[in-house]
Amino acid sequence: MTTVTVKTPPRGFPAAEFEQRATRAQRAMREHGLDALLVTAPQQVRYFTGFDTQFWESPTRPWYVVVPAAGAPVAVIPEIGEPGMRATWVTDVRTWPAPNPGDDGISLLAGTLRELAGAGGTVGAELGPELQLRMPAKQLPQIAEQAGVTIADGTAVIRYCRHVKSELEIDKIRHICQIASDSFAVVPDLIQAGDTERAVVQKMRADLIRRGADSSPYLIGVSGPGGYDNIVMGPTDRVLGTGDLFIIDTGTVFDGYFCDFDRNWAIGTAGDEARRAYEAVWHATEAGIAAARPGVRVCDLWQVMADELAKADSVGNNVGRLGHGLGLQLTEPPSNHPQDETVLEVGTVLSIEPGMEFAPGRMMVHEENIVIREGGAELLTTRATPELPVVS
């Protein structure tokens, strides 16, 4: 067993970090004509308040946080969450006894929005791409009417806030990337003859916990003879056999922050096609990492990788992009995609994820995580080997 040597960053953030987040949001709100920002989803609530709970798994009760034009956020939440929210930097915590089928926070939230946005004010909400409204959707117009406010799309503000990571956020992402890198390194030792995809994935899941990960909300494993046909299903009870390609991809978490990267192995023996495909995506990854600098658009980053893949006779890629942002979520904007013109900034955290179908129904996908620095990319993961590893 490898010794665990990774130094664990402190949990949570100082209040100053949350003050900076609120100030950043408020600057963007002014630019977009918003008098307040209403957020409901776990990652937004956590981003603005620091409130950390697994209770999001229960969809019963809606939770609301309102960022006003100035000052700290206001929490409008079920009573069950009051002790937890009171432990954050938020001091204005308004609660109702929930569930209350007759009025589950509607009037309390409406009153708060009227107070903070003003009658006739405009409130931004999670209405756009890559966001989800975590509340009964039919109640939003009711709340707006009762509050006397207009609901507008707050997507641009949320995206602006969460795009660039602070050093403290980067420390957490680097930490989980290192834990997962160390765990990926021992996967060949974990695989035993007769193992199913599921058995190997669950051994890695236990290994990640042992190394200090909090949990692995995303931990997939897919295999197939000479290649796998997707990267989002599994693991299944399929037994790994000689000649298989096997991929594990993980979004593992430390203190709310994700890594998101994968590793590939050939079982017993590797075919030439698979070896060549591996080398092609490995080189495309190198090109992507080298091209990732402040001021570069992600569409241009996509092009650099796409050019490499085209040279290698890619027959397609059902993933639809070549990497993406990450942080409080497994995937975040931007997308390394020909139509995304987002400009990389110092502090953008990104997955570099070139993939290709090298034969019909046979894919090869690589992935590393980086953060953009003044001089270029800092690699957060331990780089995959340049040649397809064969597990004997």
Site for a second copy in 85-124 (CB under 8 A): 87, 97-102, 104
Piece in contact with a second copy (CB under 8 A), picked from 238-246, 265-273, 287-295, 320-328: 320-328
Asked if 160 touches a second copy (CB under 8 A), the answer is no
The DSSP-derived string for 74-104 is EEEEEGGGHHHHHTSS--EEEEE-S--TT-S
Q: Which of 297, 278, 295 is nearest to 384 (CA)?
A: 278
- Minimum Å distance from CB 387 to a second copy? 27
Contacts of 181 (CB under 8 A, 6+ apart): 381, 382
What the block records as the tokens of 391 is 């597990």
Which of 7, 54, 375, 392: binder of a second copy (CB under 8 A)?
Answer: 54
Which of 1, 7, 33, 59: binder of a second copy (CB under 8 A)?
Answer: 59
- Closer residue to a second copy in complex, CB, 181/351: 351
Window 257 to 296, contacts with a second copy (CB under 8 A) = none
- Closer residue to a second copy in complex, CB, 17/214: 214
Asked if 11 touches a second copy (CB under 8 A), the answer is yes
Contact 124, 34 (CB under 8 A): yes
- Closer residue to a second copy in complex, CB, 127/168: 127
Scanning 118-237, the segments in alpha helix (DSSP H) are: 139-147, 155-163, 167-190, 197-210
Window 204 to 263, contacts with a second copy (CB under 8 A) = 205-206, 209-210, 215-220, 229-233, 237, 251
* Strand, coil or helix: 152: strand
Q: How far apart are CA 219 and CA 233, in angstroms?
A: 10
- Closer residue to a second copy in complex, CB, 288/323: 323
Window 324 to 343, contacts with a second copy (CB under 8 A) = 324, 329-331, 333, 335, 337, 339-340
Asked if 75 touches a second copy (CB under 8 A), the answer is no
Which of 4, 14, 27, 58: binder of a second copy (CB under 8 A)?
Answer: 58
- Minimum Å distance from CB 156 to a second copy? 12
- Minimum Å distance from CB 142 to a second copy? 11
Window 341 to 380, contacts with a second copy (CB under 8 A) = 361
Neighbours of 111 (CB within 10 A): 15
Q: How far apart are CA 278 and CA 31, in angstroms?
A: 46
- Closer residue to a second copy in complex, CB, 92/340: 340
Burial 296-317 (b: 16+ CB within 10 A, else e): bebbbbbebbbebbeebebeeb
Contact 165, 327 (CB under 8 A): yes
